[in-house]
Amino acid sequence: MFGTILQVAVGGALGSVARYLTNVSVMRTLGPGFPWQTVIVNVFGSFLMGVLVVWLGHKGLTRQAPFLMTGILGGFTTFSAFSLDAVTLWERGAAGQAAAYVVGSVVVSLAALFLGMTLTRGVLA
C-alpha cells in the first residue's frame, strides 16, 4: 500500500509541475484574456486519460495506473478523472446517470465555489 501511495505522490508532483509549466507557457503565448491554459490542460488530460485507460488495460499494465492516471494526470488535471467517470457510466449503458453526473458535477461544483467565495468574503469583510 505504501508503494502505491508513493507512486501517486511522485506522479502528482510531476503532473502539478507539468500543469504549471503549461499554464505559464500558454499565458505567455496567448495572454490572459481567456483561460486557454485550463481548457488545454483539461482537454489534453482527458485525451491522455482515454489513451492510458485503454493502453494499460490492453497491455496488462493496470498496476501503473496509480502513478500515471491518479498521480500524473490527477496532478495535471482532475478533469481527466471526471471525464473517465462520465464515459464509464455511458459505456455501461447508464446514459441518464452519465448526464446527471456531468450536469450535476458542473452545476454543484460551480455553486460550491461561489458559496465558498461568498462565505469567505463575508468572513474577511
Chain segment 58-109, per-residue pLDDT in tens: 999 999 999 999 999 999 987 888 898 899 999 999 999 999 999 999 999 8
Distance, in Å, from the CA atom of 48 to the CA atom of 70, rounded to the nearest integer, reads: 12
Which pLDDT does position 96 carry in this prediction?
A: 96
Q: What is the pTM of this model?
A: 0.78
Is residue 85 exposed (0-12), middle (13-18) or buried (19+ Cβ within 10 Å)? middle
pLDDT of residue 65: 95
